[in-house]
Structure 1
Amino acid sequence: SRRRRGMRGCTWVIFLVGIAGNIAILCIVCQNYYMKSISNSLLANLAVWDFVLIFFCLPMVVFHELTKSWLLGEFTCKVVPYMEVASLGVTTFTLCALCIDRFRAATNVQMYYEMIENCTSTTAKLAVIWIGALLLALPELLIRQLVVEDTGIPDEPPVERCIIRISASLPDTLYVLGLTYEGARLWWCFGCYFCLPTLFTIGCSVVTARKIRRAEQASVRNNKKQIRLESQMNCTVVALAIVYGACVVPENICNIVSAYMAAGVPEHTMSILHLLSQLLLFCRAAVTPALLLLLCRPLGRAFLDSLCCSCPKILLV
């Protein structure tokens, strides 16, 4: 059908752009020593998770939408939502860490810009982000179940749906944890994965912008370039937060509708809304590296330099 062809085309664009863009960010940060500041390490960390999300979850979601069955059964039914929620946590904590790092940079523009941190410090910060996001998303594994429904149409295969339902076979402690999480899931996701990064980024970016303006007024001519770079990086963080917030809004709308208006909304509409929220999540993971290459001048320059270096080699081959 036309809808399926359009979905395939959109999926291929998101997949190819996301894979290429996130690999480019990783290669730029890992291959250039002067790019290994804490900010760029945080961006590379975000690119790793976005790559995993697009490479693993996007094909699974599209396969289910086209065939109405999960490729690996209950495993993907549980793991795909878990990874999607964990990706929200990774992005949220990365944005907060970037805001804090930009504020630190604005307080001492002369010394901090592109400062190389030791491996232990960087690894510790990235580990806090990953461990926190993965642990906070664990309850998603408890509330997901795969159900098989008959369509009622002759010669039509049954439909597999991944729904929010807690298994009665779970131990009492996990069952209570699942019930508590299910009851608080709507406002937990809204507060932690939408309000926190949005409000924190806005507040911290405003304070950082004031610090940068004061530094610009008090600086000598030689520091103007570094101050401009700091200002661009601050704007880049704000742009990332705006894109993230815009892509997370449908997910929150879907949660609200599911919690309060599910009885009055057709099941087909609910499935389309949920699919839209998933595709926007993948779209955010694909747009982020392109946005970084366009707005962050050091990353964009390093990307162009790598292209210029590789083109003569390709032509010689």
Structure 2
Amino acid sequence: MESAHLKLHKNPFYPVTAETYGAYAVLIVAGLILSVGIIGNVSLMCIVCHNYYMRSISNSLLANLALWDFVVVFFCLPLVVFHELTKDWLLGEFSCRIIPYLEVASLGVTTFTLCALCIDRFRAANNVQNYYEMIENWVSTTAKLAVIWIGALLLALPELLIRQLVTEETDPPEVTTPCERCVIRISTDLPDTLYVLGLTYNGARLWWYFGCYFCLPTLFTIFSSLATAHKIRKAERNSVRGSKKQIQLESQMNCAVVALAILYGFCVIPENICNILSTYMAAGIPRRTLEILKLVSQLMLFCKSAVTPVLLFCLCQPFTRCHSRLQSDCRCCLAPSHNAPD
């Protein structure tokens, strides 16, 4: 009877079946996202940290976002891929709870960072003729970043209450180990207060997720960017020769913020679709289809974390220039540059 609990895991790559090609595709895509995400986010953090003239509040916000994106890609992506290939959670119930928590917290960090960037860009456009340059002291910068992190982490805490790891027998049961699934299910062992909190959050999760992590950053970025663009056009009409370069850089940064918001919205849409289908149409959709959609939505979130620094390197001239130097000398940004900070 004990031997029934000593079953072997199924090898996703052998023998070759239709599922094998899917396993290779997941592995290749995950490897690409992991490589780009680690290199891009580390490069972005290095550029901001090692160059005093890149330490504006906007660049500090972007470096903070890069740090969080690095954490999510480096720690969560391998665990998600491992589960997809083996149908087993590497760290058991801990990974079942912590991965959704970190993913939702990542959405919160991105949401609040986009809002903070929009506010800072509006201030910069409003003062562009005075050569706006917000290189703040470390106390002020740390306080702003702490608000973003604490807010995102606290808002994501209910995710830890609504997850459980369940084990299901596979078909045929003697071939592989029982399949472990991480499901939304509130434990009855929780204290009454936490149990009620979990029930309330679970009931409102769909629309809270959609409103806070999709509508808020999207609408806020649209209206703020339009107001900022109006200020930039006004500054262009009244500009003198010395301020034209600064106005151009402010316009680039405003476009970069809009591009980040578009990328974020595009990558979050699959997660919202998955939540809607799971809530209202789960009975009519095969479980495997929902699992594939959930995997795609997770990979899109990881893709957002990997592509964000690439967008900045392509759209922002100071980042592009310093990244080019970084490729030839990892300490290029130690030398002060007298170009505009943004």
1:125 paired residue number: 144
Kept in 1: contact 2:131–2:243 (CA 8 A): no
Separation in structure 2 between the aligned mates of residue 88 and residue 310 of structure 1, nearest angstrom: 30
**What are the within-5 Å matches in structure 2 for residues 114-193 of structure 1?**
114-153=133-172, 154-193=174-213
Q: What whole-Å deviation, never above 9, does each CA across 1:118-151 have from its counterpart, x for those lacking one?
A: 1111111000000000000000000000000001
* Counterpart amino acid of residue 275 in structure 2: N
Q: Superposition RMSD on alpha carbons, in Å?
A: 1.2
* Counterpart amino acid of residue 47 in structure 1: A
Separation in structure 2 between the aligned mates of residue 88 and residue 307 of structure 1, nearest angstrom: 30
Is 2:232 the counterpart of 1:212?
yes
TM-score (norm 1): 0.97
Pairwise CA distance, 1:162: 0.3
What stretches of structure 1 of length at least 5 have no aligned partner? 313-317
Separation in structure 2 between the aligned mates of residue 17 and residue 235 of structure 1, nearest angstrom: 22
Separation in structure 2 between the aligned mates of residue 118 and residue 24 of structure 1, nearest angstrom: 23
Pairwise CA distance, 1:296: 1.0
CA 226–145 in structure 1, closer or farther in 2 if over 3 Å, else same: same
2:107 paired residue number: 88
Separation in structure 2 between the aligned mates of residue 113 and residue 13 of structure 1, nearest angstrom: 38
Kept in 1: contact 2:206–2:276 (CA 8 A): yes
* Counterpart amino acid of residue 107 in structure 2: L
**What are the within-5 Å matches in structure 2 for residues 237-256 of structure 1?**
237-256=257-276
Pairwise CA distance, 1:155: 2.1
SS of 1:137's partner is helix
CA 112–77 in structure 1, closer or farther in 2 if over 3 Å, else same: farther
1:221 paired residue number: 241
Question: Of Structure 1 and Structure 2, which has the larger fraction of its residues in helix?
Answer: 1
Kept in 2: contact 1:34–1:114 (CA 8 A): no
CA 311–30 in structure 1, closer or farther in 2 if over 3 Å, else same: closer
Separation in structure 2 between the aligned mates of residue 238 and residue 4 of structure 1, nearest angstrom: 35
Separation in structure 1 between the aligned mates of residue 262 and residue 156 of structure 2, nearest angstrom: 23
SS of 2:190's partner is coil
Match of 1:71 among 72, 90, 98: 90
Greater Cα radius of gyration, structure 1 or 2: 2
Kept in 2: contact 1:145–1:165 (CA 8 A): yes
* Counterpart amino acid of residue 289 in structure 2: T
1:315 paired residue number: none
* Counterpart amino acid of residue 268 in structure 1: R
What stretches of structure 2 of length at least 5 have no aligned partner? 1-19, 333-342
SS of 1:162's partner is strand
Separation in structure 2 between the aligned mates of residue 310 and residue 49 of structure 1, nearest angstrom: 22
After the TM superposition, which segments of 4 or more aligned residues of structure 1 sit over 4 Å from their partners? none
Kept in 1: contact 2:232–2:247 (CA 8 A): yes
TM-score (norm 2): 0.90
* Counterpart amino acid of residue 274 in structure 1: K
Kept in 1: contact 2:129–2:235 (CA 8 A): no
Moved more, 115-124 or 97-106: 115-124
Separation in structure 2 between the aligned mates of residue 281 and residue 308 of structure 1, nearest angstrom: 31
Kept in 2: contact 1:36–1:114 (CA 8 A): no
Match of 1:43 among 52, 55, 62: 62
SS of 1:103's partner is helix
Match of 1:299 among 314, 319, 323: 319
Identical aligned residues as a percent: 70
Is 2:34 the counterpart of 1:15?
yes
